[in-house]
Structure 1
Amino acid sequence: MRGRHLRRRARGPEAALSRIVERYKAVEAKCDAVVIVGSDYTDVGSPTELSFNARIAANLGAPVLLVLTGRRSDESGGRSPDEMRQIADLAVPELVTAHAGLLGIVVNRADPDQLDAITSAIPAAIPASLQARTPHVPVWAIPEDAFLVAPTVAELLDAVDGTLVKGDAALLSREALGVVVSAMSMENVLARLTEGAIVVIPGDRSEVLLGVLTAHASETFPTVAGIVLNGGFALSPTIETLVSGLDQTLPIISTELGTYETAKRITQTRGRLSPESARKMDIALAAFEQHVDTSRLLELLDVSRSDVVTPLMFEFGLIERARKAGKRIVLPEGTDDRVLRAAGTILSRGIADVTILGEEIEVRSRAIGLGIDIGRATVLSPFDAVLRERFAEEYVRLRAHKGMVLDIARETVTDVSYFGTMMVQLGLADGMVSGAAHTTAHTIRPGFEIIKTTDGVSVVSSVFLMALADRVLVYGDCAVNPDPTADQLADIAISSAATAAQFGIEPRIAMLSYSTGESGAGADVEKVRQATARVRELRPDLAVEGPIQYDAAADAAVAATKMPDSQVAGRATVFIFPDLNTGNNTYKAVQRSAGAVAIGPVLQGLRKPINDLSRGALVQDIVNTVAITAIQAEGIDAG
């Protein structure tokens, strides 16, 4: 409820309430569930506002999840358990009086050292009458995290009307965790530097600028988030040349403002939790998932489950399953910023343990510069002497029949794809995800040579999990086999059905061709017909149809005309394309034209999971692929 409704309320709360109910009913009719955010009062100290929100909830029949802030209104610190109980004493009776149902209570930004005490104190504020109707009202407390309210360097740049004059623009996304104003000698400034601070330096204090840049590069000083040069002073040509020659990417911002105004604007800037701040979103989600029992919350809501699976729902399910699997995934491309950002997300949300390949100092320094926490990641050099020798000996053993010798093997295994694959082979990692900076062939060739195929599988293949607006389909093979034979096509179909089942998709296989049933002839159609027969022979338990055209496989109306008696036609979930040309173009066409989220390629048929990324992969693509790889590893262990 925002400005317009509040103005209506000012003219009369009953009129405003009627209008809100009317508009809510219009929305409710179109949705399975509606989340209502109350009006933007700053604290529970406004009983009139809270009372009106309670009346709204009661009239809409919406249960209330009461969110209380664990911080004092003046931001002087966290509230004590007794203070939180007193606040609940004021808030809960307002809900009871209005006959609004209390779903639960969440204390946000709570003192991290008082979580148990707070959740124990608040239930005393729940009246006996409410406890009789709703016993065991849950109380959760989410701890304060200063990072979530920290502004990014980009937000501070806007706040001071600044201009980026030096440094890497990508580092503007880093959060500033403090401010140091350089109104003192360089020695005293350096003594006050803290990790992630923004440093305000008068533009004519070049000696302080050089000192801070040197400290930032030093291993014995904290790394800062950025520098703001205030006063509008231009650097002298000599200092400009010196700074330009330094090997540093730290953002340096220039502003016309004076020192006081610059410092004031910076200290008054509050960070925003927005989709653009991936690390904040990760930390916030991780905190919610850790401290709020989401399963219990959904039980209390009693929202009926829909058969619809949206891309977001599917991605969330992947993350949840991967988290429970507890696997270690190796990421060979440690020099790619996208991989580092993805690693930060994976670690903060507990999706998997991560090993990153690269030189440790370089990888960790870049992550710090990007404001990414990979502290819990293992960073390994592909030139590690002990592992290199061990991997080379294993590679010689596996490839002796091809004439492999130790000297060549030592060089081969320093390639990040071979090194990562060998980690999986020897059990040092459960799976590998690569390809953001390498070709598909470079990524998967070591898997063919080292991991090899699962027993009973003749060909390694791939699928894309195509998350449409309301369901998830499986497309194969769209990335590996250019022109599979009939037997290979059958193998791909069986592997794809297993992959579909592993990800909660009931496999109904459509063997695609340009004709349906017996209507066509020719070598291409015959290959699909033979492949379909082979699937039925090998796996009579699988629902499979072919040859069949895409429209007959996907559209129930078309299927009713072309194949009315088929169990698959019109209901297919696994689409097997006759060749790579057809499959690759189709998945891209659906991705672009239908707005589908294409997750993959997911490799199948290897004894242990190795997965390839598109070189245009986004951070979320990498995160999803790591989750998929962890789930595949879990399936292999279970099998």
Structure 2
Amino acid sequence: MQTILLVPISRGIGVTSAALGLIRAMDYNGVKAAFMKPFLQDDTLDKQSSLDSSSALIMDAFGLTPPKSINRQRVERMIGDDNLDELMEEVVENYQSIGNNQEVIICEGLVPTTEASYASQINRAIAHALDAKIIFVSTVDTSSPAHLADKLDVHAREFGGIASDRILGCILMRVHDVPNTFDSQPVAPGEAVVSLDKDFMQAMVRLSPHFNTDQFRLIGVVPFSDSLSVPRTWDIAAELDATWLHVGEAKSRRINHISLTARSVARIDEVFKRGTLIVVPGDRDDLLLAAALACINGIPLAGLVLTGGVVPNPTVAELWQSALKTGIPIMSVEADSFETVQSLMHMSAEIPSDDTERAQEVTRYVAAHLDLSWIKEYFSGDHKPRLSPAAFRHQVVKKAQQAKKRIVLPEGSEPRTVEAACICQSRGIANCVLLAKRADVEQVAKNRDLILPEGLEILDPDTLDMSKYVAAVVERRKGKTSDIQAAEQLKDTVFLGTTMLQMDEVDGLVSGAIHTTASTVRPAFQLIKTAPQYSLVSSIFFMLLPEQVVVYGDCAINPDPTAEELAEIAIQSAESAAAFGIEPKVAMISYSTGASGTGADVEKVTRATQIVRERMPNLAVDGPLQYDAASVMSVGKQKAPDSPVAGQANVFIFPDLNTGNTTYKAVQRSANVISVGPMLQGLNKPVNDLSRGALVDDIIYTIALTAIQAYSDAI
């Protein structure tokens, strides 16, 4: 196990962001990383986790549990008493509590500030106590290479000089005047690597000959990004000491613009845009009513700050009731408008520990600008490759891009679906077809500040020649549906999209953002039907565990499958896993392992395992296995020492829907695990259902999964 200490050279450079990105990039390359922050920068802790903000963000982003940090008061007392060695013993004890299951531990060093003047001394002591390698984290003025060279030289002296074997290199954060082509799009680690100006690099080499050599690598250059510095409306309330009048969607709305508004209504139309925080005197009833109208018309403002300690009178408050239903956050402050805006301008850019969405965006963004070749070289030969969640997601997108499939989205004017379709179309994940009126889609795009990309198809069902679809439905359902019944069914866009899929006009279908699972799946059973080699349809979830990606099946479709059906589910799931780059090791789950239990349920799993072995003799499969015997190596060796699967299973087949769905939900919620799915398998053509609470990212990955299924079915 190795240790890397991130040493910040100055304040406000984003050392935690660097840690987030570095851990994700390592995870993408199959390197298991843990995190610790040995000492608190200040003694502020996250109320929910009792961790410092850095550790809380890491825990939320990666499911890691960093050890507690030593508080500043104790550090200052120990240094004052000349007990630095004892302090480092405590650091080593915390370090060892992480365990030996990681390949590297990323430590975040202290930022040198007036309050933490001992930062350099402490960082040097940490490096020696943990035998850590050093990566400096800094920013840079690209017009002054000498300034960076001097800073690196001064800080490197604490660790034996810039040519020391202990020093690996540096990451330059928040760099201005460099290309920034991936400002907010989620991209893969290493995909957006940028280089500094040639003249700058030549000057750096003259000033610091080891710079950007094997002795001192430039590991990443991360451009400054305005869009990743946007706070939530929720975050500014504490900064302003505001009183909430209506919280609404304050925890999800973000502030892209701040508008100090005091003009007449006729002259403020341009401020009513998505993401605008409007700062307005609390007694301007006309402006408040104009803002209410903007909300009702579908413009998602970031929020309203009413200044001067004045709140709306009861008449205005009554007129605002409809607008409040849109989720608009409203707060009141005692300060005047100018003071309020000044406070907002000086607000800290740190990511709040509970801002998961922003932390994930920053993590992706930083990782995209890191040099993966350095990670591969540094860790080559010292670890076993694995399919990490980050690598899985990237692989799904890449395979979908290669598939070039046409996916129909029956909920064509649903806002999340429109946004996901725009992203999929612009990134080449799929050619998306929205079933909706163009005017409705364009209005959604306007409200969400989306640009409808070239090639995005919008088909208005009212303008389609329905006669051919009626004929296709009647033919497919001979004796079950009349022309009149078919015409009525085709008014449902899910049924229409499924018919288009059956007629090969599209390659796959994704629905469910506003429809029930039954509404999505029923037309598929009626029109698409099962593939010739299968007798049933089942489902799987891809569970993005911190360690790796595993498959759970069936968690959504079949209540109580027979042994033959369970075997078929296992085969379908193994084939799906293989299609997505997972070498299947299938565990047939039961409440007992091997021959230790008896009863009909155990016999069903035993028989299903035998059938799978007969039909797929080269597949690694075993059962019955208890869940812990299948997933935990130490338990697997004890309970099933001769099993080819125990302790290392990555495809888990549950005996019934009750067990599967309960386990899926329990793991997802208790371990904060991201899941992708459910993905239906066994149909002639791919149809996939969304959760009605699906996020835009969920829809994007479901579209990608569907495209890959369509490609695999066509081979």
Regarding TM over 0.5, the answer is: yes
Q: Which amino acid aligns with 1:110?
A: H
- Local SS of the residue matching 2:108: coil
Partner of 1:253: 331
Cα distance in 2 for residues equivalent to 1:595 and 1:223: 29
**1:220-268 Cα shifts (integer Å, max 9, x gaps):** xx97433322223343444444444669834443333323333333333
Deviates more, 1:102-111 or 1:423-432: 423-432
| Corresponding residue to 2:391 among 295, 317, 332 | 317
Distance 1:428 1:145, change over 3 A: farther
Q: Which amino acid aligns with 1:38?
A: G
| Corresponding residue to 2:148 among 69, 88, 95 | 88
Deviates more, 1:471-480 or 1:1-10: 1-10
Q: Using the TM superposition, give the Cα deviation of residue 427 of structure 1 relative to its aligned residue in structure 2, in angstroms.
A: 6.6
Partner of 2:469: 392
Contact kept? 1:493, 1:535, Cα under 8 Å: yes
Q: Using the TM superposition, give the Cα deviation of residue 497 of structure 1 relative to its aligned residue in structure 2, in angstroms.
A: 1.8
Partner of 2:310: 233
Contact kept? 1:321, 1:631, Cα under 8 Å: no
Partner of 2:110: 39
Partner of 1:176: 255
Cα distance in 2 for residues equivalent to 1:69 and 1:132: 16
Cα distance in 2 for residues equivalent to 1:366 and 1:157: 29
**1:261-319 Cα shifts (integer Å, max 9, x gaps):** 333333333454346445534543443344333x224225427665697xxx7432221
Q: Which amino acid aligns with 1:94?
A: V
Contact kept? 1:50, 1:91, Cα under 8 Å: no
Cα distance in 1 for residues equivalent to 2:467 and 2:201: 58
Q: Using the TM superposition, give the Cα deviation of residue 322 of structure 1 relative to its aligned residue in structure 2, in angstroms.
A: 1.9
**1:370-449 maps to which residues of 2 (within 5 A)?**
383-386=460-463, 389=466, 392=469, 395-396=472-473, 399-402=476-479, 404=481, 408-422=485-499, 431-449=508-526
**1:482-539 Cα shifts (integer Å, max 9, x gaps):** 3434433332221122223334544344445677767888766665555444333322
- Local SS of the residue matching 1:155: helix
Work out whether 1:292 is the aligned partner of 2:370.
Answer: yes
Cα distance in 2 for residues equivalent to 1:239 and 1:599: 45
Listed as ranges, the gaps of 5+ residues in structure 2 are 1-38, 43-70, 181-193
Partner of 1:108: 174
Cα distance in 1 for residues equivalent to 2:350 and 2:631: 43
Partner of 1:69: 139
Cα distance in 1 for residues equivalent to 2:301 and 2:694: 29
Cα distance in 2 for residues equivalent to 1:317 and 1:374: 29
Distance 1:109 1:336, change over 3 A: farther
**1:200-599 maps to which residues of 2 (within 5 A)?**
200-214=279-293, 224-244=301-321, 249=326, 250-274=328-352, 276-277=354-355, 279-281=357-359, 283-293=361-371, 295-302=372-379, 314-327=388-401, 332-333=410-411, 383-386=460-463, 389=466, 392=469, 395-396=472-473, 399-402=476-479, 404=481, 408-422=485-499, 431-466=508-543, 470=547, 473-511=550-588, 528=605, 530-546=607-623, 565-568=642-645, 572-588=649-665, 599=676
- Local SS of the residue matching 2:107: coil
Partner of 1:150: 230
Contact kept? 1:318, 1:628, Cα under 8 Å: no
Cα distance in 2 for residues equivalent to 1:429 and 1:14: 74
Distance 1:66 1:389, change over 3 A: farther
- Local SS of the residue matching 1:35: strand
Q: Using the TM superposition, give the Cα deviation of residue 130 of structure 1 relative to its aligned residue in structure 2, in angstroms.
A: 1.9
**1:4-15 maps to which residues of 2 (within 5 A)?**
8=75
Q: Which amino acid aligns with 1:86?
A: A
**1:52-101 Cα shifts (integer Å, max 9, x gaps):** 7578657755444333335xxxxxxxx4x323x23322223235533352
Q: Using the TM superposition, give the Cα deviation of residue 169 of structure 1 relative to its aligned residue in structure 2, in angstroms.
A: 0.9
Distance 1:490 1:200, change over 3 A: closer
Cα distance in 1 for residues equivalent to 2:353 and 2:439: 30
Deviates more, 1:544-553 or 1:442-451: 544-553
Q: Using the TM superposition, give the Cα deviation of residue 442 of structure 1 relative to its aligned residue in structure 2, in angstroms.
A: 1.9
Contact kept? 2:423, 2:700, Cα under 8 Å: yes
Deviates more, 1:135-144 or 1:336-345: 336-345
Contact kept? 2:276, 2:302, Cα under 8 Å: yes
- Structure ranking higher in helix proportion: 1
Partner of 1:74: none
Task: Quote the RMSD (CA, aligned, Å).
Answer: 4.8
Partner of 1:198: 277
Partner of 1:138: 218
Cα distance in 2 for residues equivalent to 1:306 and 1:372: 44
Q: Using the TM superposition, give the Cα deviation of residue 400 of structure 1 relative to its aligned residue in structure 2, in angstroms.
A: 4.9
Deviates more, 1:426-435 or 1:295-304: 426-435
Cα distance in 2 for residues equivalent to 1:49 and 1:557: 42
Q: Using the TM superposition, give the Cα deviation of residue 462 of structure 1 relative to its aligned residue in structure 2, in angstroms.
A: 1.8
- Local SS of the residue matching 1:318: helix
Q: Which has the higher contact order (CA 8 A, sep 6+)?
A: 2
Q: Using the TM superposition, give the Cα deviation of residue 343 of structure 1 relative to its aligned residue in structure 2, in angstroms.
A: 7.2
Q: Which amino acid aligns with 1:268?
A: H
Q: Which amino acid aligns with 1:169?
A: G
Contact kept? 2:138, 2:170, Cα under 8 Å: no
Q: Which amino acid aligns with 2:392?
A: L
Contact kept? 2:92, 2:129, Cα under 8 Å: no
**1:330-352 Cα shifts (integer Å, max 9, x gaps):** 55556777767877998999977
Contact kept? 2:75, 2:87, Cα under 8 Å: no
**1:539-586 Cα shifts (integer Å, max 9, x gaps):** 222234456666766677887787665544565544434443444445
Listed as ranges, the gaps of 5+ residues in structure 1 are 71-78
Deviates more, 1:474-483 or 1:324-333: 324-333
State the aligned residue count. Answer: 618
TM (normalized to structure 2)? 0.70
Distance 1:434 1:271, change over 3 A: farther
Partner of 1:73: none
Contact kept? 1:149, 1:270, Cα under 8 Å: no
| Corresponding residue to 2:681 among 569, 582, 604 | 604
Q: Using the TM superposition, give the Cα deviation of residue 108 of structure 1 relative to its aligned residue in structure 2, in angstroms.
A: 1.9
**1:438-493 Cα shifts (integer Å, max 9, x gaps):** 33222222333344434422321123445566565544333222343443333222
Contact kept? 1:200, 1:228, Cα under 8 Å: yes
How many percent identity over aligned positions? 35
Q: Using the TM superposition, give the Cα deviation of residue 154 of structure 1 relative to its aligned residue in structure 2, in angstroms.
A: 2.1
Cα distance in 2 for residues equivalent to 1:55 and 1:525: 57
